[in-house]
Amino acid sequence: MTSISTVTPANAGEPLAAWLQAAFEKAFGEAAQDTRLRVLPSTDPSFGDFQCNDAMGLAKTLRLPPRTIATRIVEALDTADAPATANIAGPGFINLAVTPGWLAGQLAALADDARFGLPDIGGGRTIIIDYSSPNVAKPMHIGHIRSTIIGNALDRLYQALGFKVIADNHLGDWGTQFGILINGFRAYADPGRLRDAPIEELERVYRESYARTEKDPEWLDACRAELVRLQQGDPDNLALWRQFIDLSLREFNRIYERLDVTFDLYRGESYYNDQLAATVALLEERGLARESEGALVVPLDDEGMPVCIVRKSDGGYNYATTDIATVLSREAEFQPDRIIYVTDERQQLHFRQFFAVCRKLGCTTRLEHVWFGLMRLPEGTFSTRQGNVIRLDALLDEAESRALAIIRESSPGMPEEQQQALARDIGIGAVKYADLSHDPQNMIVFTWDRALALDGNSGPYLQYAYARIRSLLDKYAEACPGCDPAKAPLLLQEPVERQLALQIMQYPATVVRAAENCKPSLLADHLYALSQLYSSFYQRFPILKADPAIRDSRARLCTLVARVLREGLGLLGIATPERI
């Protein structure tokens, strides 16, 4: 799995860059030694397929006008077996139009590569992704849902690039809320409701108990006493606390199963309890913490941030303390290269603060907070309370039932069971894609019309595109028994065929960019553009009815489009049913 992919570099322009580089060195000798020319896909196809813009940047060092530099490079190009024709535009852009033969060769190499061109940039190094991380006894809110979907896509992307990913669900399973909950539970919990809707019941109990703390000081004291008893290890309170965790996890796991999300670790905040005192002691020992109004804080003036409180005036530790202890523990146990945290935007300051504290402690792990904006959901069934608390299972149920209605209409002859399995793949895929197709940092308004649109940028649209290619290839196999499209020479004569080929070639680089920038949306955009190109190709040109050599070449191109769609959607955690 971790064999290094040598067939296709992650940037499809690299072989062209090598070609230009040789010419550059031939033309400029010594002066060219320290510069590596870069070739990137063209932003506009009318400028050719690829371009090199480096002549502009070189003008100063070479003391020549950029156009002269570009001209000399192009004149020195080795024309034997040239991969492209080059021409110069504007102040000194070198535009490259690749030859069909070169394109076909690159595509064939990609097709033959077991990793489909994905470079092994991880080389087995470890990345911890801290995602989902809902709070016990509370329903997942929209922030946790997005964290689950985005975090899982990052998990898949990094694994595909050769990293060892540890997916860690950092559950909120400790804190002052448990005193309120335990005291409230003994007074208010209803066994029937607890059986039917455990998390909602725990939440109701919590809310009721919390409300009473505000008007009944004795109740507040009793809640505090329960918390202290829990912290001191009282067996009854510990048992109740475990019960809350079990009930919550059972529900969370049902959702994870539906979303096809799995974790390597479920280390909640409580896991680090016995490391908090030592963490604070370390901060004191290093002279990083000082007293402030009874609390212990780490000043972050140099970083331009408010102090990070690591011990409250009542002696309790808080969220940041746990997170610092967690980093230390993860470093010691896993030596990760990087830890990525996925939460909503409201926690940005918290992460910046404790990252800064960790750096003061000498942590070398690259710590990264991937934050996302909120997603507004449709009003109605999902909002149990103001705004962003939703019942995710209700959202998924509705997605599946809407998908089922569409399938019943489009494939009335399909057996019921198959329709339902398909509805699951399409419904869940629609919800995931609606999230992943947006830049995480943008706010999204979710609508069913857009999520399920068969003619727009949606999960179902891409799933349909994939299934349609599969059925076309079945017809090809029938029409042409014994033909193996994988062996057909790629002819790539039409511009749209070239564009398809170029888009396919960009797949590995896109996966790398999506992972490195923690933006699965870059991959979603790529897949959508690919399927749009495919559909204009399919509408304008015959495939099965074309002359045999062209037919076979086109069938091969179709298999490659299908492969990118399947693998790419797979990296987004979206299923690709073979039949729709």
* Footprint of ligand ARG (CB under 6 A): 130, 133-135, 170, 172, 323, 341, 343
- The CA distance from 102 to 107, in Å, is 9
170 versus 391: smaller Cβ distance to ligand ARG: 170
The residue (of 269 and 400) whose beta carbon lies closer to ligand ARG is 269
Q: Which is nearer to ligand ARG, 265 or 453 (CB)?
A: 265
Residue 134 or 520 having the CB closest to ligand ARG: 134
Give whole-number Cα distances, 171 to 133, 135, 176, 239, in Å: 4, 6, 15, 18
CB 569 within 8 A of CB 462: yes
Please report which residue ranges of 446-519 form alpha helices under DSSP H.
448-452, 459-479, 495-505, 507-516
Sign of CA dihedral 514, 518, 521, 524: positive
* Cβ 329 to ligand ARG shortest distance, Å: 12
Q: Least separation, in Å, of the C-beta of 266 and ligand ARG?
A: 12
Taking the C-alpha atoms of residue 421 and residue 262, their distance in angstroms, rounded to an integer, is 20
CA distance 430 to 448: 9
Question: Tokens at residue 116, please?
Answer: 């489909």
Q: Which helix (H) or strand (E) holds 207?
A: helix 198-215
Closer CB to ligand ARG, 139 or 427, in the complex: 139
Neighbours of 499 (CB within 10 A): 19
CB of 392 to ligand ARG, least distance (A): 14
Residues sharing a CB contact under 8 Å with residue 106, sequence separation 6 or more, in sequence order:
8, 12, 15, 501, 505
Inter-CA distances, 197 with 11, 191, 193, 369, Å: 51, 10, 6, 33
Closest distance between ligand ARG and the C-beta of residue 248, in Å? Answer: 12
Q: How far is the CB of 332 from ligand ARG (least distance, A)?
A: 16
CB 372, CB 345: distance < 8 Å: yes
CB of 371 to ligand ARG, least distance (A): 11
380 torsion bin: left (phi>0), alpha (psi -120 to 50), beta (else)? left
Give whichever of 8 and 322 is closer to ligand ARG, judged by the CB atom.
Answer: 322
CB atoms within 10 A of CB 70: 28
Distance from chain centroid for Cα 208 = 38
Q: Which residue is nearest to ligand ARG (CB)?
A: 172
Q: Rounded to whole angstroms, how far apart are CA atoms 400 and 323? A: 37
Least distance to ligand ARG, CB of residue 170, Å: 4
Considering the complex, what minimum distance in angstroms separates the CB of residue 508 from ligand ARG?
31
- Separation between Cα atoms, residue 568 and residue 156, nearest integer Å: 10
- DSSP letter, residue 185: H
Cβ 524 to ligand ARG shortest distance, Å: 24
Alpha-carbon span 13 to 48, nearest angstrom: 12
Given a contact cutoff of 8 angstroms between Cβ atoms, the answer to whether 491 and 553 are in contact is: yes
* Least distance in angstroms from the C-beta of 311 to ligand ARG: 18
Q: At what angle do helices 416-436 and 142-160 cross, to 10 degrees?
A: 90
Its sign, for the CA torsion 307, 310, 312, 318, is: positive
CB nearer to ligand ARG: pick between 248 and 559: 248
Separation of alpha carbons 246 and 248, rounded Å: 5
Q: Which is closer to ligand ARG, CB of 151 or CB of 162?
A: 151
Q: How far is the CB of 133 from ligand ARG (least distance, A)?
A: 4
Nearer to ligand ARG, 21 or 135 (CB): 135
- Smallest distance from ligand ARG to CB 38, Å: 37
Structure tokens at 469: 């290619």
For the chain, the helix, strand and coil percentages under 3-state DSSP, each to the nearest 5: 55, 10, 30
Between 116 and 354, CB nearer to ligand ARG: 354
Provide, rounded to whole angstroms, the least separation between the CB of residue 518 and ligand ARG: 15
- Which of 19/272 has CB closer to ligand ARG? 272
In the complex with ligand ARG, which residue's Cβ is closer, 358 or 562? Answer: 358
* Alpha helical stretches, state H, 29-173: 54-62, 66-75, 100-112, 142-160
Residue 490 DSSP code: P
Tell the smallest beta-carbon distance from residue 367 to ligand ARG (Å).
10
